[in-house]
Amino acid sequence: MTTAALDTAGVLVAGEAREGRGEEQTIFEPATGVEVTALRLASTADVDDAVRAAAAALAGRWGRTSAPQRSRLLHGLADAIEADAEKLVEIETRNVGKAVTAVRGEVGAAAAVLRYYASVAGSIEGSANPIGGSLTAYTLRESVGVCGQIVPWNYPLSMAVAKVAPALAAGCSVVLKPDALTPLSALRLGRLALEAGIPPGALNVVPGDGPTIGGHLVAHPEVRKVSFTGSTATGAEVMKAGAPLVKRLTLELGGKSPSLVFADADLGEAVKGCVWSVYSAAGQSCEARSRVLVEREIHDEFLTRFVERAALLRVGDPLAEDTQIGSLISTRHRDRVHELVEAARDQGAQVHCGGEVPSGDGAFYPPTTISDPDHGLAIEQAEVFGPVATVVPFDGEDEAVRLANDVRYGLMATVWTGDPARGPRLARRIESGTIGVNMPYTSFPGVPFGGFKQSGFGREFALETLDDYLETKSVVLWTGKKSPTPID
């Protein structure tokens, strides 16, 4: 990818793609370390302009669109993404370093999410309550207003669309802040939205530093709602910053999710599914099931087969069609992942494959499998966000559930079993927002996705997500002649 192939504008505000007034950010390909472009990203003044543009859009043409019009516009944006898919896939793959086959799926899923919200936009409706006599009440569903949406670097386009689609469907306007490392696909999304006819100012894109630019957006008095995806620590900062102005919040935060493999499971399917669940996206997924809990009687065989499969995964050039695992986001992040592996090794855990920083360029780290970690170790409790799995034995359902729940997170869990009653039974006992039963994939349009405990609150990808972007206004109507006011 050459610089000429990229949009060089660092912000998109009020329908204009232009240089930002903030820091210059060099954008690297993490898989090669090569610089692809440098962009001037947003300053706090750009955020102010973006919020002003978003408010003006609500006061203008965008604020007057009907649900059917918004539906048509969202379908138009999905069409534009599909038409531009090849370019979006290349940009995202280069910028994030993930395998191109995975990124292709993400771009397709982004269009599908837009189509889902295009389809349900018309379901937004109030209700009437004929209380009796001359008294009637009814409700209006109105957009919350200007929304600040903050997304991380691991799924820059698909996370952006997961937030933008329901907000626009509900008639809100958006100021979207991508991570400073991965602004390219979100900026392109903003341009595609304009091409699809979404009015200027309805979607503004202001990439920049987290605490300065993200913090300014969260604290901005005109921003009524903040939707944030990122780490639990930052989510707590966002709550604090939003508290003085009682901001509405959705927080999609970290995870430390388990797979639970029972002795009656189809072992081949379970191994394949568990490998995919932790190593896809090089483990840089909030829902990565990085703790593989295995019933003791099959533990040793499972571990052998899991390690064999993990070691065979093809790690390499993200743009190669046969690559299964690309690079991590940066060498800095890779070094942090490696530190956690080293600490586990020092504390007595066994490393069966991977666990070494490869020589050569790029932020690569091999699929790594660890057994026998103590339950209290950081490798069992903290989000590693890299291609690292631990395999731990358990005896019976009660212990499996105890281990699964004994972390501060609760985002995702997968149960592998041949007993048709076990999955639904455990789904009631595991504290997490999504439970898969013999099914490793996690997010589908229409299926609520979000966290229990410190994995956050609010749900995305779902019909109920629209509620987060709507206010309910009650209108109480007296149609009698004489007002019932008790004072004359």
Instruction: Name the DSSP letter for residue 237.
Output: H
Does residue 283 belong to the site contacting ligand NAD (CB under 6 A)?
no
Strand partners, 350: 371
Cβ atoms of 263 and 400 within 8 Å: the answer is no
Which listed residue (211, 358, 396, 446) binds ligand NAD by CB under 6 A? 211
Q: Is 228 helix (H, G, I), strand (E, B) or coil?
A: strand
> Rounded distance, CA 254 to CA 286, Å?
5
Q: What would the DSSP string read from start to end of 161-190?
A: HHHHHHHHHTT-EEEEE-BTT--HHHHHHH
Return the residue matching tokens 């006599």.
Answer: 133
d(CA 95, CA 89): 10
Question: Which segment (226-234, 351-359, 374-382, 389-397) binds ligand NAD by CB under 6 A?
Answer: 226-234
Asked if residue 252 binds ligand NAD (CB under 6 A), the reply is: yes
User: Token pair for residue 34?
Assistant: 């090569």
**Choice among 29, 92, 106, 252 that is catalytic:** 252
Distant-in-sequence, close-in-space partners of 211: CB < 8 Å, separation ≥ 6: 237
Amino acid at 442: T
Q: Is 229 left (phi over 0), alpha (psi -120 to 50) or beta?
A: beta
100 or 226: CB nearest ligand NAD: 226
Select 324 or 442, whichever has its Cβ closest to ligand NAD: 442
- Orientation angle between helical segments 156-169 and 67-83, nearest 10 degrees: 160
Of 43, 154, 280, 323, the one binding ligand NAD (CB under 6 A) is 154
Neighbour tally for 444: CB within 10 Å: 13
Smallest gap from residue 148 Cβ to ligand NAD (A): 9
Check binding of 143 to ligand NAD (CB under 6 A).
Answer: no
Give 271 or 435: the residue with its C-beta nearer to ligand NAD.
435
In the bound state with ligand NAD, the residue whose beta carbon lies nearer, of 213 and 325, is 213
Query: 64 burial class (0-12, 13-18, 19+ CB within 10 angstroms)?
Result: exposed
Closest approach, Cβ 305 to ligand NAD, in A, equals: 28
Residue 286 known to be catalytic = yes
Task: Fill in the amino acid letter for 267.
Answer: L
Q: Is 102 helix (H, G, I), strand (E, B) or coil?
A: helix
Residues 415-454 that bind ligand NAD (CB under 6 A): 451
Residue 51 beta carbon to ligand NAD: minimum distance, rounded to whole angstroms: 15
Is residue 20 involved in binding ligand NAD (CB under 6 A)? no
What Cα–Cα distance (Å) separates residue 208 from each residue in 25, 42, 96, 115, 181?
9, 5, 16, 29, 8
- Looking at the Cβ atoms of 393 and 445, the one nearer to ligand NAD is 445
For ligand NAD, the binding residue among 37, 93, 229, 390 (CB under 6 A) is 229
Residue 304 CB, nearest distance to ligand NAD (Å)? 30
Q: Which is nearer to ligand NAD, 240 or 314 (CB)?
A: 240
Task: Choose the binding region for ligand NAD from 229-237, 344-352, 358-366, 386-394 (rule: CB under 6 A).
Answer: 229-237
Interface residue with ligand NAD among 166, 171, 255, 373 (CB under 6 A) is 255
Contact map string, positions 334 to 373, toward ligand NAD, x by CB under 6 A: ----------------------------------------
- Given 106, 286, 353, 460, the catalytic residue: 286
Sole binder of ligand NAD in the list 58, 73, 99, 150 (CB under 6 A)? 150
**Site track for ligand NAD across 171-190, x = CB under 6 A:** ------x-x-----------
Return the number of the residue (112 or 159) whose C-beta is nearest ligand NAD.
159
Write out the two tokens for 15: 């329908």
Q: How far is Cα of residue 123 from the mean position of the Cα atoms in its chain? A: 24
Q: How far apart are CA 378 and CA 447, in angstroms?
A: 31
Residue 413 touching ligand NAD (CB under 6 A): no
CB 166 within 8 A of CB 314: no
Assess 383 for contact with ligand NAD (CB under 6 A).
yes
Choosing from 16, 79, 90, 237, the residue that interacts with ligand NAD (CB under 6 A) is: 237
254 is a contact residue toward ligand NAD (CB under 6 A): yes
DSSP state string for 38-100: EEE---HHHHHHHHHHHHHHHHSTGGG--HHHHHHHHHHHHHHHHHTHHHHHHHHHHHH---H
Please identify, among the stretches 126-134, 224-232, 367-375, 416-424, the one whose residues bind ligand NAD according to the rule CB under 6 A: 224-232
Active site residues per annotation: 252, 286
Which spans of this chain sit near ligand NAD (rule: CB under 6 A)?
150-155, 159, 177, 179, 210-211, 214-215, 218, 229-231, 234, 237-238, 252-255, 286, 383, 385, 411, 451, 455-456
